[in-house]
Structure 1
Amino acid sequence: MRRRVVGVVLACGLLAGCGGEPVKVPAAASKAPASVAEELAVFAGGGIAVPAAKQLPANAAIGGPDYAVRFTEAGTADHLEPAVVTQFAKMQSATGVPRDASGTIAAGAGKEFVFARLAAVPARKTEPSPEVKARLRVGDKARPVEGMVTADSVLVALVPAGAPVTLVVADAGKEESVDLRTGTVGPGVAAAYLKQRPYGETSYKLVGQISGEPHQTSVEMKVSAAVEPYDHRQQGTWAPAGRTWLRIWVEAKFTAIGALDGSVDLRQSLQVSAAGKTITVEAGSAGVTRDSVPITGYTISDEVRMEVAEGSVKEISFRFEPKGAITRDGKPATLKLTGSTQQKITLK
């Protein structure tokens, strides 16, 4: 009989307080509902489903020198699904979601989650660039968007229900915007970056003679050209309105027994014309660099540019005749080329 009383007392001690009231669960054992950062705006993985998705117009696209994306669908929801919560838990610094969060997360009274899917622009290939910055304009307020502007991602933001939501992207000193609810793009979209840039290239061989060398050398030439409104060189330069940059890359590879050094003045060495008119080349000097393999190999390469009227260049003619201050074993030397030095490139 004594043992039975003790058992009852122990059971009572586990389930109730001294006065018979239920024992409270320790605070550490209770789990508060997970929530997101108050001003959530983040690019997440493209595998996230867009709830209540509606298709956006085909022209809902923006782009610049370092990015190009189109917005294919948008939607809203009053909560985040568990799959999204799990992904956000891995992005804790950007989302505020605890790493052990699970289940759904509610938007809260008077708020909603906005979703927008980003995809690639046809014919445009871009690598994610940290130079491209995005912010979200919600009503009359703005907040930064965490992550890089890239295709195959979904933007998720917590906003007041029904509030205007506009994504603003800054690249190379210019901003472009798109309404995430309607897909309407703002003014000033750089259309040149929403299509494949005009580009062309050619490779050919010439015969070269370096003064002091006992034998001629084969010179492998590669020249490519592109037209675009922004030039990344010289800390980045936009062409004036109605104009664009014709950019040309020149590479010459050859061999020599003697040790070569010095540079080639590309402004004097490269003659370019389009539609029968000579184009002034903006260029500097390109050094003669020794290749690691073979050790007798040398390369002259650099980029030049020209300002031309937008849409005016479809084909260019050029001639490369190296002029500059080249040395062989420390003595002045020249590189003379023979063969078809006059070449053409069609840009398409």
Structure 2
Amino acid sequence: MRGWFGVVLACGLLAGCGGKPVTVPASAAPPKASVAEELAVLAGGGIAVPAAKQLPAGSAIAGPDYAVRLTEVGAADHLEPAVVTQFGRMQSATGVPRDASGPIAAGAGKEFVFARLAEVPGRRTEPSPAVKARLRVGDKARPVEGLVAPDSVLVALVPAGAPVKLVVTDADKDQTVDLRTGAVGPGAVAAYLKPRPYGETSFKLVGQVSGEPHQTDVEITVSAALEPYDHRRQGTWAPAGRTWLRVWVEAKFTALGSLGGTVDMRQSLQLTAGGKAVTVEASDADVTNDPVPMNAYTISDEVRMEVAEGSVQTLQVRFEPKGAMTRDGKPATLKLTGAGQKQLTLR
């Protein structure tokens, strides 16, 4: 009796009462591994680039918030299991099921393109969500998922042999690089492919605050840099052939009285480059009381001026505070002894 029941049960599971095959529920079938139709994703740098071809050293683009170069490119008609596994962990961007493990074919007339992104020598940036990327495949564009950053690999499913360009947008400016050849588009900003020119000088002068019984040492630091993009002015690119000269000034000193008020930077800071005066941007710097020690004060500010590219390599600097300073609520001045010009070189 037990044997007969076992035969009937097996028959019921496999063929049904009428002897017809029973379809296995879809949920029991293994998932079919495939990628999103227009896959374009930045994945981990550990992915191997198949049939890798080295790209020219100049295959690089950079902006205020990023810098990357393409080092190698390759193509394949399928994704290896290791890539499929990684894509399963990124399924929202790739469409690959989390438990997928086998290779994935590109399909007829298509291929997977791989391009490795690396650091631009001398430029190190943190990945920024403000930087957006897209692929231009022929005459169509598609967004690239992930943060534009070195140590990653761009993988895209494209028509076999189709022209493919990476377009990166930063501060409303597009820059492009050809994935097949590494050729950079005409909108590239060369200034961001190298360290920004920067210089600094520090010196000490003797100062006298009106109303103070004693003189004070005044420690002054002036630094400067050149940049094509001005973050501070609601995001402004310098016109073609021009750049922003960014200058920081800090003066530290002590006083027995209570100091306050402002310093007019246009009157106080004098800049000369190549024998020509640089007009300082109007700005009022506050005289602030430092928390430690209680009688310490700081005047600090940043100003930016638009200058011609290549016109500033060495700056002659003179700083002597002028403006609406106060001591114990009354108008005051800070006179400096030996406030001659100092020099800083931007390298």
- TM-score, normalisation: structure 2: 0.92
1:226 aligns with: 225
Structure 1 residue 291 corresponds to structure 2 residue 316: no
Corresponding position of 1:282? 281
8 Å CA contact retained: 1:119, 1:152: yes
Q: How far does residue 153 in structure 1 lie from its aligned partner after superposition? A: 1.4
- Residues 50-61 of structure 1 mapped to structure 2, 5 A cutoff: 50-61=49-60
Q: Is the 8 A contact 1:274 1:317 kept in 2?
A: yes
State whether residues 265 and 322 of structure 1, in contact with CA within 8 Å, keep that contact through their aligned partners in structure 2: yes
Report deviation, 1:141.
0.7
Letter of the 2:158 partner, please give it.
V
Per-residue deviation, 1:277: 2.0
2:250 is matched by which residue type in structure 1?
E
Give yes or no for contact 1:321–1:341 (8 Å, CA) kept in 2. no
Q: In structure 2, what is the Cα distance between the partners aligned to 1:338 and 1:24? A: 96
Structure 1 portions without partners, runs of 5+: none
How many Å separate the matches in 2 of 1:10 and 1:163? 57
Q: Which amino acid aligns with 2:253?
A: F
Relative distance call for 1:74 and 1:295 in structure 2 (3 A) is farther
CA distance in 1, matches of 2:92, 2:331: 60
| Whole-Å separation in 1 of the counterparts to 2:290 and 2:155 | 49
| More moved, 114-123 vs 200-209 | 200-209
Amino acid at match of 2:175: E
- SS of 2:168's equivalent in the other structure is strand
RMSD: 2.1
Identity across aligned pairs (percent)?
78
Contact kept, 8 Å, 1:283 with 1:305, in 2: the verdict is no
**2:73 matched to which residue of 1?**
74
Give distance in 2, aligned partners of 1:217 and 1:87: 64
Q: Give the corresponding residue for 2:103.
A: 104
Aligned AA (1:158)? L
Moved more, 296-305 or 157-166: 296-305
Q: Deviations over 1:92-144 (max 9, x none)?
A: 33222233333322222222111111111111222222222221111111112
For residue 87 of structure 1, give the secondary structure of its aligned residue in structure 2: helix
Given that residues 260 and 327 in structure 2 are in contact (C-alpha distance below 8 angstroms), is that contact kept between their aligned partners in structure 1?
A: yes
* Residues 297 and 23 of structure 1, relative CA distance in 2, 3 Å threshold: farther
1:268 matched to which residue of 2?
A: 267
2:301 is the counterpart of 1:320:
no
Contact 1:33/1:105 (CA < 8 Å) preserved in 2? no
Q: What is aligned with 1:18? A: 17
Partner of 1:40: 39
* Cα drift, residue 340 of structure 1: 5.0
Does the 8 Å contact 1:242/1:309 carry over to 2? yes
In 2, distance between residues paired with 1:81 and 1:216?
75
How many Å separate the matches in 2 of 1:213 and 1:250? 24
Show the 5 A alignment for 1:66-145: 66-145=65-144
For residues 81 and 239 of structure 2, the distance between their equivalents in structure 1, rounded to whole angstroms, comes to 50
CA contact (8 A) 1:123 1:196 kept: yes
Indicate the larger mover: 84-93 or 194-203.
84-93
What is the Cα deviation at residue 27 of structure 1?
1.8
CA 1:294–1:16 in 2, change beyond 3 Å: closer, same or farther?
farther
Asked whether the equivalents of residues 283 and 303 of structure 1 are also in contact (C-alpha less than 8 Å), the reply is no
Residues 264, 4 of structure 1: alpha-carbon distance in 2 compared, 3 angstrom cutoff: same
Higher mean Cα deviation, 329-338 or 273-282? 329-338
For residues 130 and 11 of structure 1, the distance between their equivalents in structure 2, rounded to whole angstroms, comes to 58
Q: 1:92 to 1:288 in 2, by over 3 A?
A: farther
**Conserved 8 A contact 1:138-1:159:** yes
Q: Conserved in 2, the CA contact under 8 Å of 1:291 and 1:297?
A: yes
Partner of 2:216: 217
Partner secondary structure for residue 208 of structure 2: strand
The range that moved more, 278-287 or 333-342, is 333-342
- Look up the SS of the partner of 2:156 in the other structure: strand
The answer to whether 1:192 aligns with 2:191 is yes
Q: Does 1:178 align with 2:152?
A: no
| SS in structure 2 at match of 1:85 | helix
Q: Deviations over 1:149-182 (max 9, x none)?
A: 2222111111111111111122223221111011
Once the two structures are TM-superposed, the CA of residue 3 in structure 1 deviates from its matched residue by 3.3
Matches within 5 A, 1:296-307: 296-307=295-306
For these two proteins, the number of residue pairs brought into alignment is 347
- Tell me how far apart the structure 1 counterparts of residues 234 and 118 of structure 2 sit (CA, whole Å): 29
2: CA distance between counterparts of 1:330 and 1:222? 27
Mapped to 2, the partners of 1:62 and 1:21 lie a distance apart of 64
Worse-superposed segment, 125-134 or 136-145: 125-134
Q: Which amino acid aligns with 1:246?
A: L
Secondary structure in 2 matching 1:28: helix
Equivalence for 2:252: 253
3-state DSSP of counterpart to 2:46:
coil
Whether the 8 Å CA contact 2:112–2:156 is kept in 1: the answer is: yes
Kept after mapping to 1: 8 A contact 2:319/2:339: no
**Structure 2: runs of 5 or more not aligned:** none
- 1:221 Cα deviation from its structure 2 partner: 1.9
Alpha carbons 2:320, 2:339 under 8 Å: kept:
no
CA distance in 2, matches of 1:22, 1:272: 90
- Render the CA deviation track for 1:172-220: whole Å, top value 9, x for unaligned: 2322111101111111321111122221112222233323334433322
User: Which moved further from structure 2: 269-278 or 23-32?
Assistant: 23-32
